[in-house]
Structure 1
């Protein structure tokens, strides 16, 4: 398999985690997608032909997927703030699921499978232009997502104090837009932050977990397996761990 990422620049980084490309060989592949605190817009090609354009919800549990042979993917991994300011909708209705979009969405059907860089560049430019036309962005939300994704602050109470936004109002915002609480979002992002360490053989909890038992329990909750099984990653089952090698 081949996997690569292109990171956004400047202010767009508040909305897009990366553009990513994935390619399989001449065999089908079974993967398990793990919760990571993002959602994705994915274009799938089989034998050089666009077959699907879809938007995923936020994953709160592992998702088994079967990927066809000779498949290619162009995708955008979005931070949660994008759902409000780029898509201008909620995403709670597709929590742990997907919705298909028309092939013409954002003119995705015009790209050939060897034009990933062009795809990332042009859509970046279009998104940057649309963001400039937005109504003023709530600075509390910008700070909140920066704190969480950068692992700067790790409890609901601390975030509430830092962004001057009550915990009740934050949770209402999260439930309305995303279908999860801020606490669960924090737990998912914290779990995602351990994947690289686990893939490198570090099976001991970081300071964010009370002890080894708590660490194993939380990892198993969001991945379905123990840290040891994640580390073994048989047959590249867990794509997020495979790509950190």
Structure 2
């Protein structure tokens, strides 16, 4: 039993190209310390302490694990975005905030109006707002739409295979990734591949299912992106690894 709760709502329809989930996190009588491990997404986070909105933050993409301390009596409303959202919803690059976050106004997207709401109401109203923004956004490059659709399906495609399937050269894709996000496509694909393993690890399945050459390769890649072995992730003492703590409860 962890000293916090986590719940999420999954998007539907075309929104799934931009949003991985909308989520809520609460602490109770104690501070919580977590290690956030890379998942191939970025987040918009609203931090509410003792009923008052304290901060709204936009994170970059995490390519390394990061330790965060969350005070007691804190509620977080957040949106976990897929990378396509950076260009078409936020109209900005994430390279400048790679592995960090920046503060936004408390009134950004009127998030200050949701602090007293429950997750379902927050998710419904924010989803409607985002859907409306997408409808008024610039035309979406079909190559990018297809690239992220395939990558997030976790099919373990190589850079070459992905390039050939979307008819976009690997050189151009990497130029786009480095300029927009601050890392090459291969790094992103490796992170997504590791992220697919977190659910299985949380359930005690510590052996790869076809996405890695062998057990040694699996351990090496997991440790590279999380700084922990699969066994350490599974033990997840005190809910240290937040994504594993939440996955094990689903």
TM-score band, normalised by shorter chain: over 0.9
Counterpart in the other structure of 1:19: 22
The answer to whether the 8 A contact 1:20-1:75 is kept is yes
Using the alignment, how far apart are the partners of 1:82 and 1:226 within structure 2? 31
Higher mean Cα deviation, 76-85 or 120-129? 120-129
Counterpart in the other structure of 1:84: 87
What's the offset of the Cα at 1:81?
A: 0.2
Give the number of aligned pairs: 245
Using the alignment, how far apart are the partners of 1:203 and 1:124 within structure 2? 36
Partner SS, residue 241 of structure 1: helix
Deviations 1:152-191 (A, max 9, x none): 3511000000000000000000001000100000000000
Counterpart in the other structure of 1:181: 184
Higher mean Cα deviation, 4-13 or 73-82? 4-13
Deviations 1:10-34 (A, max 9, x none): 1111001110000011101110000
Using the alignment, how far apart are the partners of 2:88 and 2:156 within structure 1? 23
- Structure 1 gaps of 5+ residues are none
What's the offset of the Cα at 1:136?
A: 1.6
Partner SS, residue 203 of structure 1: coil
Using the alignment, how far apart are the partners of 2:243 and 2:115 within structure 1? 25
TM-score of the superposed pair, with normalisation by structure 2: 0.96
Using the alignment, how far apart are the partners of 2:93 and 2:43 within structure 1? 14
What's the offset of the Cα at 1:9?
A: 1.5
Of 204, 207, 228, which residue of structure 2 is paired with 1:204? 207
Partner SS, residue 243 of structure 1: helix
Using the alignment, how far apart are the partners of 1:227 and 1:110 within structure 2? 41
Runs (4+) off by over 3 Å = none
Counterpart in the other structure of 1:111: 114
Using the alignment, how far apart are the partners of 1:27 and 1:149 within structure 2? 35
Matched, 1:46 2:49: yes
Counterpart in the other structure of 2:238: 235
What's the offset of the Cα at 1:151?
A: 1.4
What's the offset of the Cα at 1:119?
A: 1.8
TM-score of the superposed pair, with normalisation by structure 1: 0.98
Matched, 1:73 2:76: yes
Higher mean Cα deviation, 185-194 or 111-120? 111-120
- Structure 2 gaps of 5+ residues are none
Using the alignment, how far apart are the partners of 2:83 and 2:72 within structure 1? 31
Of 154, 159, 163, which residue of structure 2 is paired with 1:160? 163
Using the alignment, how far apart are the partners of 1:111 and 1:210 within structure 2? 46
